[in-house]
Structure 1
Amino acid sequence: MPDTPIRILIVDDHPVVRDGFRGMFAADSDFEVLGEAADGAEAVERARTLRPDVILMDLRMPTMDGVSAIRELGRLGVPSKVLVLTTFDTDKDVRPAIEAGATGYLLKDTGRDELIRAVRAAARGETILSPSVATRLVSQVRAPADTLSAREIEILELIARGATNREAAKRLFISEATVKTHLLHIYTKLGVNDRAAAVATGFRRGLLDVNDTP
């Protein structure tokens, strides 16, 4: 048992999920649930105030998603370790979360004992990955040079939703010129010449999820 309880912040847009995690950790004296948040923006504000040891972070939430929240926590210098806990293990979810600074990445079907061990490990600063996520990351490391970066996939997703270069730049907090540069790299890597072809190729290669488009 640690000298002091591991302090946790639970972030998920589903109240029933938050209640389940709170009940799980509240029943163990090794842990203290400091609070909850229903989206990434609220998570950032609560983490700045509460300074939890570990944040259990969902990815797909309204207002601000989990990856954006992780980036913002890093920008603000919040020292909390972030353990992503989600139902998604696709390439476009895993890599951006890890690159943003997540300490670990687990799926919500993870067993109770495994999750508790993972939170303890995250509090120690250790990296924890579910087996399927670890396999995906290894595959990406071994992937050819034409693989899109996490940022390029983000831009391709926005373009698929109909965003202009200006809108994509505003959404990602980068310049319009940077978006254009990323698009040129996307075209080169995918072997296409325009936005429509890039989106079509993105869907064909599984880089884009049809459920993410309007």
Structure 2
Amino acid sequence: MEHAKKTVVVCESQPVTVEGVRRLLHDCSDLEMTGSATLLGAGMDIVRSQAPSIVLVDKAFGTQAVLDWIASLRMLGRSTLPVVWGITLGEAEALRMLQGGAMGVIRKTAAPALLLECLRTVAGGTTWMEESIFQESDRPARSGASNLTARERQVAELVRQGLRNKDIAGRLGIQTGTVKIHLKHIFEKTGVRERYCLALNGLKERGVFSMAHA
């Protein structure tokens, strides 16, 4: 029995790039590009009307603009899964996208086969990211993570959710300086050096995504 193709809408600032994606997906037996837009607003209109399986969004529209767009997409209640790609995409920025609801993160410099792998993995319900983006944070945490105090585990979990220090302090009813002290102890015990690495390790522990080499 032949399975229906997963549909892809591309929200991309460069028309030439849109055409490249169209050609890439043209001969795919499981993926089909059904629409494109060069503006975020127009892209949202297409998502509303088509409810595609995946929407590929250009980070060049602006990090915060894309995060807000993804938040609006989630509020629509559609099953459309967002994948963010960009020419420049650093570790902290990519993690913000994942925490903001992106199901895939990939650079435009990735090989075509890697983009297809990303789209297929996301279509299957698994979050995907290009491993080379997270070179620094790909170190495994030390076993000291099990030695965290109850309060340190609370702080670590809120960091994994993307909260800032002052928000964590407000949530737990403690001072911002106290949050910083807890983070220092967490980093020492786990071997993680920065908060975005801590958040990424949390995602890895949950097994919620797949990583692939560029």
Which residue in 1 is equivalent to 2:119?
Answer: 119
Instruction: Provide the rounded CA distance (Å) in 1 between the counterparts of 2:2 and 2:122.
Output: 14
Shift of 1:136: 5.3
Instruction: Provide the rounded CA distance (Å) in 2 between the counterparts of 1:69 and 1:137.
Output: 27
Structure 1 12/77 Cα, relative in aligned 2: closer, same or farther at 3 Å? same
Checking the alignment, whether the CA contact within 8 Å between 2:5 and 2:29 is kept in structure 1 is yes
Shift of 1:185: 5.5
Q: Which runs of 5+ in 2 are unaligned?
A: 143-151, 181-214
Q: Percent identity?
A: 20
Which residue in 2 is equivalent to 1:27?
Answer: 27
Which residue in 2 is equivalent to 1:101?
Answer: 101
Report 1:32-47 matches (<5 A).
32-47=32-47
Checking the alignment, whether the CA contact within 8 Å between 1:70 and 1:82 is kept in structure 2 is yes
> Can you list the C-alpha shifts for 1:44-69, whole angstroms capped at 9, x where unaligned?
2211111111111111217x832221
Instruction: Provide the rounded CA distance (Å) in 2 between the counterparts of 1:152 and 1:137.
Output: 19
Structure 1 133/51 Cα, relative in aligned 2: closer, same or farther at 3 Å? same
Answer 1 or 2: higher relative contact order, Cα 8 Å, separation at least 6.
2
User: TM-score of the superposition, structure 1-length normalised?
Assistant: 0.62
> Can you list the C-alpha shifts for 1:74-95, whole angstroms capped at 9, x where unaligned?
1221211111121222244212
User: TM-score of the superposition, structure 2-length normalised?
Assistant: 0.62
Checking the alignment, whether the CA contact within 8 Å between 2:91 and 2:134 is kept in structure 1 is no
Instruction: Provide the rounded CA distance (Å) in 1 between the counterparts of 2:10 and 2:16.
Output: 12
- In the TM superposition, structure 1's runs of 4+ consecutive aligned residues that sit over 4 Å from their partners are 136-139, 144-147, 149-153
The two structures, once aligned, show a CA RMSD in angstroms of: 3.8
Instruction: Provide the rounded CA distance (Å) in 2 between the counterparts of 1:122 and 1:25.
Output: 15
Structure 1 115/126 Cα, relative in aligned 2: closer, same or farther at 3 Å? same
Which residue in 2 is equivalent to 1:9?
Answer: 9
Which residue in 2 is equivalent to 1:211?
Answer: none
Which residue in 1 is equivalent to 2:188?
Answer: none
